[in-house]
Structure 1
Amino acid sequence: MTPSAIHIRAYEAADLPCLSAIWFEASRRVHGFLGEARLAAQRQLIEDSYLPKAETWVACQAGQAVGFIGLLDNFIGGLFVDPAAQGGGVGQALMAHALRLKGPLELEVYAANTQALRFYQRLGCAETGRQAEDSEGLPFAVVQLRYAPVLAGAPARAAAQGLTDPTIAPKD
């Protein structure tokens, strides 16, 4: 995908099919260890509960949804970017938007999802803990992270990564 300006807007019900597809394709690539059947079951939960009930923000390029972030207060329930748009600043823009809205953020990542762990480490997230099991008690280790770049004394890094970019559209 050719890089273009990233616009972030609030989730709309019409986004559901596209965001579900983004979630599924990204999850198949980085959460393959969960297995196809588990991912299919999780997809149903994403469609029925998570996307419509969380505070979901959608990143668009050239009018097309390319990623989203779901917030539960200051907890990031999920951040997913279309694999074709990864590496183009979409994830950083979504993190910057969430940081402006909520301040310091908390999140969990599967330990086996090394791609996401590297992304969050590059942004300056600090590890706050680990669990041997996921939230359902299954043997999938998770890493708990905190994202507070300015509070951690890293405003220059945040600015250098575009995390203070004013071009993100505010929520109506």
Structure 2
Amino acid sequence: MPTIRPSGPADAAVLADIWRASVRATHDFLSEAHFTEIEALVADQYLPQAPLWVIEVDGSPAGFMGLSGAHVDALFIDPRRRAQGLGRSMIAHAARLEGKLTVDVNEQNPQAVGFYERMGFRQTGRSPQDDAGRPYPLLHMRQE
């Protein structure tokens, strides 16, 4: 049975590994230069400092989620653990905490778009670039 807990400083390295593996498996649209740029920000700034939720399977981290209020900032599951209900468990956990959720998801990541649609999210808007101005459109979604 998976467990969900707050992250701690000791989690940063393993969560960075999960982020890398997950992005490599689902974000084939990223240029290598952008991957390297984003990886540095995630590993050096976001993961060590952000309050995150970690989902564990058999005592080992299998994914993580960042929340800003009711907004899902990040949700990454180890590719070896996909399709096991872990992402669904994380969204349910966030909804119990915050109610109806919002998320911004890369339009070029159809697996993620489909996941959020299955979780009851619907598109409410679109941005032609990501938050840093890179050429990766974002879909803005809200849980119904």
- TM-score, normalisation: structure 1: 0.80
Question: Where in structure 1 are there 5+ consecutive unaligned residues?
Answer: 153-172
Q: 1:77 aligns with which of 73, 76, 82?
A: 73
| Residue 87 (structure 1) aligns with | 83
Compare CA radii of gyration and give the structure with the larger one. Answer: 1
Q: Is 1:106 matched up with 2:106?
A: no
Asked whether the 8 Å contact 1:28–1:36 carries over to 2, the reply is no
Q: 2:47 aligns with which of 32, 48, 51?
A: 51
Question: Where in structure 2 are there 5+ consecutive unaligned residues?
Answer: none
Taking only aligned residues, the RMSD between alpha carbons, in angstroms, comes to 1.1
For residues 119 and 54 of structure 2, the distance between their equivalents in structure 1, rounded to whole angstroms, comes to: 20
Displacement of 1:50 in angstroms is 1.6
- TM-score, normalisation: structure 2: 0.94
Paired residue secondary structure (1:129): strand
For residues 9 and 37 of structure 2, the distance between their equivalents in structure 1, rounded to whole angstroms, comes to: 20
Paired residue secondary structure (1:34): coil
Paired residue secondary structure (2:29): helix
| Residue 36 (structure 1) aligns with | 32
Q: Is 1:117 matched up with 2:141?
A: no
| Percent identity for Structure 1 against Structure 2 | 38
Question: 1:124 is aligned with what amino acid?
Answer: G
Displacement of 1:40 in angstroms is 2.0
For residues 53 and 99 of structure 1, the distance between their equivalents in structure 2, rounded to whole angstroms, comes to: 23
Matches within 5 A, 1:143-154: 143-147=139-143, 152=144
For residues 51 and 71 of structure 1, the distance between their equivalents in structure 2, rounded to whole angstroms, comes to: 12
- Equivalenced residue count is 144
